[in-house]
Amino acid sequence: MRIEVARGAEVILADRAFLNTGVQVICHSAIEIGPHCRIGPDCVLCDTNHHPVHEGDAVRVAPIRLGRNVWLGRGVIVLPGMTIGDHAVVAAGSVVAADIPAGEVWRGNPACFAKAVRCSPDFVRP
């Protein structure tokens, strides 16, 4: 696992959050991982794009927030500025390039809506 935190940046890892092997957290602003989150192997959460794409562009740096009981499958990449709502699931290999509402399953590159999650508000994945 690799956690990189720039000066002045903040990583918040809530109670019972689990980060599997090979996870990379690259934080230049803020990354918040909510309670009971499950982060699968080889996932990347990066709140910066490190370099501008076009001449004259600024480097993008924007906070990432994962709500309660979020599950990221193996190899998910979460891009700068994304919020993933409570109980959401992101399928293996997906790239999160848009905010994901609570209680939804998303998949693909870029990730898009697949179906609703069926769970009560107090559900916690084992």
pLDDT in tens, 6-54: 999 999 999 999 999 999 999 999 999 999 999 999 999 999 999 998 9
What is the Cα–Cα distance from 39 to 26, expressed in whole angstroms?
14
Q: What is residue 94's three-state secondary structure?
A: coil
Residue-level pLDDT at 126 = 87
On average, the pLDDT of the chain sits at 97
20-34 burial: b if 16+ Cβ within 10 Å, else e: eeebebbbbbbbbbb
The kind and range of the H/E element at 5 are strand 2-5
Residue-level pLDDT at 31 = 98
Catalytic residues: 50
